[in-house]
A and B are shown apart, each in its own frame.
Chain A
């Protein structure tokens, strides 16, 4: 498998996914859409870690362990983030990030 696909190809897919996720997180106005962009970025990082594990250190479990922990942290982040979005929607009746600007100087 490692001689069929070069490592650079996998890293390119992850880089493209990261940049698309960054665009989504910066350009979308809906809070849930912003969170979806962040999830895409976390997935890109995970692809990178698994690819490094597979190509560079296939005999050790460290790479996979990192990926598992990132999945855990992403799940926690999504739960807290969505709870905050729902709380903000209750208070401000909006889910648009531009409308939640009370801390703007």
Chain B
């Protein structure tokens, strides 16, 4: 039984870390978002392995169901055709890698292994009777906690979600008079091709000004 659990944990850890590495390293943003979904699923399965069923379900509902779709839609709405410079380069990449590896190797791992975690010993089986089952807070206790002990926090979370919803709508809202058709990738290539002879492509420069984009006629109104 223990070997099986360890095997499952190893596979889940490999899935989580491997797909996270793919998220940050793959060039195509859509592929990165799909790897992110795989990573979220792995984390949800890890919650199941840790016997936190409600959080596993919430993880799948919120992260896989909502946030991934939101990210995919945002990628669709902000698609750029420049794919060559998807990551910082030069000394910035080196410094970033050093910071992350140093945080992992010099801070987190020594802390994890030198700190004494006061893990309570598992219930032992007395001769003659099996080991008593471990007391585990389940969904019922969680719901009771939300209704009784953490009522205020629960309400604050609701207010936070409402504010975030209204804020997202206000930020992303666009007046009808200013609405502009989003360019497809082919049209953006055309714009770029037309602009290329005019000025040499400078790295780090902002891409076409709004006036250069062809205005749509049938879209308004």
If the complex has contacts A22-B100, A26-B100, are A37 and B24 also in contact, measured as CB distance less than 8 A? yes
**A72 touching B20 by the CB < 8 A rule?**
no
Question: Chain B's nearest CB lies how many Å from the CB of A59?
Answer: 4
Which 8 pairs, one residue from A and one from B, show the smallest C-beta to C-beta distance? A24-B24, A76-B164, A83-B168, A83-B172, A15-B108, A95-B78, A4-B5, A4-B2
Size of B's binding interface in residues, CB under 8 A: 97
Shortest Cβ gap from B215 to chain A (Å)? 14
- List B70-129 residues whose CB lies under 8 Å from chain A: 70-71, 73-75, 77-80, 82, 85-88, 92-93, 96-97, 99-101, 103-104, 108-109, 112-113, 117-120, 122
Chain B residues engaging chain A, CB cutoff 8 angstroms: 1-2, 5-6, 9, 13, 16-17, 20-21, 23-24, 29, 32-33, 36, 39-40, 43, 46-47, 49-52, 54-55, 58-59, 62-63, 66-67, 70-71, 73-75, 77-80, 82, 85-88, 92-93, 96-97, 99-101, 103-104, 108-109, 112-113, 117-120, 122, 134-137, 141-142, 144-146, 150, 153, 157, 160-161, 163-165, 167-169, 171-172, 174, 180, 204-210, 213
- Residues A59 and B172 in contact, CB atoms below 8 Å apart: no
Residues of chain A within 8 A of B150, CB atoms compared: 65
Question: Among the interface residues A64, A84, A89, A90, which one has the most CB atoms of the partner chain B within 10 A?
Answer: A64
A23 cross-chain contacts in B, Cβ below 8 A: 24, 96-97, 100
What are 19 A-B pairs with beta-carbon distances under 8 A?
A4-B2, A5-B5, A11-B112, A15-B109, A19-B108, A20-B24, A23-B24, A26-B100, A27-B88, A29-B86, A32-B33, A36-B23, A40-B36, A61-B144, A68-B55, A79-B165, A82-B71, A83-B168, A85-B78
Chain A residues with CB under 8 A of B71:
32, 35-36, 39, 78, 82
